[in-house]
Amino acid sequence: MSFSNILAQLGGGFLYTLLLFVLTLVFSMPLGLLVAFGRMNVWAPFSFLLTESEKSLLRGGNALPRTGKWQDNFRRGLAQFHPIQTVMKVLISILRGTPLMLQLLVVCYGPFYMWGATLSTQWRFTALLIGFAVNYAAYFAEIYRSGIESIPVGQYEAAAVLGYSKSQTFFRIILPQMVKRVLPPVTNEVITLVKDTSLAFVLSYQEMFTVAKQIAAAKADITPLFVAGVFYFIFNAVVAYTMERIEKALSYYR
Amino acid sequence: MKVLEINHCNKKFGDNEVLKDISLSVEEGQVVSIIGPSGSGKSTLLRCATLLETMDGGDLIYLGKYAAKADKAGKAQYVSNGELRQIRKNFGLVFQNFNLFPHYTVLKNIMEPPMLIGGRAEKEVRQEAMALLAKMGLEDKADAYPFQLSGGQQQRVSIARALAMKPRILFFDEPTSALDPELTGEILKVIQDLAAEHMTMVVVTHEMAFARDVSDHIIFMDGGVIVEEGKPEDVITHPAQERTQAFLRRFHQ
């Protein structure tokens, strides 16, 4: 098999890689913001169990003094239970704590094993997207959260006194500053995603790595794998360059 | 006419009583300074007045309209969020550390709130913003970003930002405490000019000479209570209370 032939085939696979990459980002980046909101949610349906003095202590940012009675500890624990936040924490820890490859297999074949659903060919791609987008949303959510929590409280207070609503404060004051602060870790994540698209081979998606492996196995030739490596490397160089440009574009303020 | 009235304000953080039965009122055109040692509750009082903190008990009244009213038990009951939004339009606050929006230019910092919150036309707001900048001696900084300015310049921008909302009363929370000593003068000058224009102001400050010269009324707080209040010459020059004398001894030396 000639070199140009390999290039042509891998180039075809690369388009699928690119499609998966772009769609994953398009879905996971906004989804990550929703997950971050959930992760920071402090809705406490049992807060009525707190006494007035306990409430006022907590508002002042203080810890509650120990009483030594288990009933008190239980009541306070329940009163400070944040269900939405807890669900998001568990979800994030599962998504970060298990291999993406395993998650992809579960999303794709789970419906068949659990409910006996018949799986179409289109479903594979949908499953891939769901698996990738949800997994990356978990990582993005934690990055966004770190960015949002790093914005000084004075920014919220200034906006509040000027009369900004909560959503005006978030979208006009907090979000733009958050974006600038999270760019370096987001760049890391995007570069990882470029390489992670190769995991799509477990669902036989015809992206570049799957193609390279097939040719390499069929022709007993390692060249396709090298060429695929070069493709990934160049792709990531472009990603890194683009992100650097965005960082530069946002460096007009500090 | 009373612009601000606070009656029997109480505030606790847990068992720590930060404000104990504080009452004060500010007449239109009056300049009131609040002095006192750190931890005396003066900043908390300002934060309660500007709705950044909620009072546990007492009344908070702007221009005759209740923001919070004590119920029979004395507990402060706040009005609805919609009404609070209207009440916020009456006051402005200048922070110790400016809290300008770093991603906006100086001009946008000043122009966005009146346009977005006040719903006013850009052309008119721009003219006013430029006039305010001129007044602050910062016309040439309209397109600069906050990080390019000195602390004193940033504080002047934040005063302009507060003034652009045309508040009936302006609060200052230690406006010179984050500044180098040689920069405090320019901020105090601005406040003095505003006082000369009969802007109603409440200033929490550690600058005793300034408080004495600019205020109509001085409040000395310690331990969450108003220990002494009155005319500047009475409180600062001839304090009656021992605690006030002890606090001012350092200053008089």
Give contacts of A253 with chain B, Cβ < 8 Å: 102-103, 145-147
- Written as one letter, the residue type at B101 is F
B124: pLDDT strictly greater than 80: yes
Q: To 5 degrees, how large is the angle CA A118–CA A119–CA A123?
A: 150
Residue A58 carries which side chain, given as an amino acid letter?
Answer: L
Confidence of residue B253 (pLDDT cuts 50, 70, 90): low
User: Is B101:A171 a contact under the CB 8 Å cutoff?
Assistant: no
Instruction: Find the mean pLDDT for residues B129-154.
Output: 96
Measure CA A46 to chain center.
30
Is there a contact between A158 and B99 if contact means CB atoms under 8 Å apart?
yes
Flag whether residue B103 sits within 8 Å of chain A, measured between CB atoms. Answer: yes
Is B117–A162 a contact, with Cβ atoms under 8 angstroms apart?
yes
Say yes or no: B113 contacts chain A, CB-CB below 8 A.
yes
pTM of the predicted model as reported, rounded to 2 decimal places: 0.92
Digit-coded pLDDT (tens) for A62-76: 778 777 888 888 999
End-to-end Cα, chain B, rounded Å = 38
> Residue type at A42?
V
ipTM of the complex: 0.95
Interface contact B112, partner A, CB < 8 A: yes
A254 vs B contacts (CB less than 8 Å): 102, 145, 147
- pLDDT for B68: 97
Q: Is the pLDDT of residue A10 over 70?
A: yes
Q: Does A162 touch chain B (CB under 8 A)?
A: yes
Amino acid at B79: V
The answer, for A83 touching chain B at a CB cutoff of 8 Å, is no
Of B101, B103, B113, the CB nearest to A163: B113
DSSP per residue, A132-144: HHHHHHHHHHHHH
Distance CA A184, CA A189 (A): 9
Q: Give CA–CA dist A191/B79, Å, rounded.
A: 51
More confident residue, B185 or B251: B185
